[in-house]
Amino acid sequence: MSIGVFDSGVGGLTVHHRLVERFPEADFIYLADQANAPYGGRPGEEIVELTRAGCVRLFEEGCDLVVLACNTAASVALRRLQQTWLPGYRRDVGRPVNVLGIVVPTIEAATGLPWEHEAQWREEKAEKLEILGVFSTPATTRSRVYEIEIDKRRQDVAVFSEPCPELARMIEANAPRDELAATIQGHVKALATRIGRNPDRAILGCTHYEIVADLFQAALPPGTPLIRQPDATADALERYFARHPEFQPGTGAVRRFLTTGEPGAQNSLVETFWGGPLRFEPA
Ligand code: DGL
């Protein structure tokens, strides 16, 4: 089988890149829904429907496992699809297909705890000691998934999210680095103003932002640790394969890149990050 990697656009390539390094022999098909990107400003129902359509496309290409390398899709759509659509779809296709997200691995990395960890509630609620900043799309911010799930597990961590409504679109559109830097500085400042100080650690909670992680690093106080979604997802997938030997990720080192948008080369920002040219086929 192939592993499908899905995002609204090029952001998920940051996760794909790390998965390929971690599983070099595995077969990968990447799907960018660039005809409908960005997802971050869309209503929830649309995000659910677009994510479902992306998964179907990848399953039809022969993937048995799809990784939603998109916080917006994972935080808004994944649970709904797992509960209401996937069981019936599995029955219809007669294969044990599955969809995984990147929010759970990120929360595991941020808390240092496995997802199943039950919060150890103490008599008195612990004083919040550490401030964790999350930069994400408006839809991910609205879902409050990072606040809710981290608060359940770590009472000593307070999460504050900053929505960045224009950033994924700017990255898709190859915006100049100085414009990207100014936008990112604005969001880092806005978050610090709201909290009253800078965060101690940060999550780049949109996979597009990993492409400009250096600009976030430069805008945050020196040395602020960033929780890296590509690493967290690769670690989680390794554990998943160990628990689910029925999913065999192939051995042909297949690399295909599909887009619902304009096929062909991707923009220079993406190619610089990728380290070379990258050609997409029509989905
Ligand atoms: N890269 C995506 C994410 O992680 C989607 C950005 C968007 O389409 O708005 O949220």
Q: Is 36 in the pocket of ligand 1 (CB under 6 A)?
A: no
Task: Give the chain's radius of gyration (CA, Å).
Answer: 18
**Whole-prediction pTM value?**
0.95
Q: Is 171 in the pocket of ligand 1 (CB under 6 A)?
A: no
Strand, coil or helix: what is 251? coil
Cα–ligand 1 centroid distance for 7 (angstroms) = 7
Residues 139-168: pLDDT tens digits?
Answer: 999 999 999 999 999 999 999 999 999 999
Report the nearest atom of ligand 1 relative to the CA of 39: 8
Residue nearest to atom 2 of ligand 1 (CA): 70
C-alpha distance from residue 187 to each of 140, 213, 217 (Å): 15, 14, 13
| Cis peptide bond upstream of 87, omega within 30 | no
Q: Which domains does the chain have, with CATH numbers?
A: 2-104+230-282 (3.40.50.1860), 111-228 (3.40.50.1860)
Q: Would you give the distance in Å from CA 271 to the centre of its chain? A: 19
Higher-confidence residue: 270 or 48?
48
Regarding beta strands 255-259 and 98-100, do their DSSP bridges make them parallel or antiparallel, or are they unpaired?
unpaired
178 pLDDT exceeds 90?
yes
Residues 168/100, Cβ–Cβ less than 8 Å: no
Residues 199-214: pLDDT tens digits?
Answer: 999 999 999 999 999 9
Q: Is 233 in the pocket of ligand 1 (CB under 6 A)?
A: no
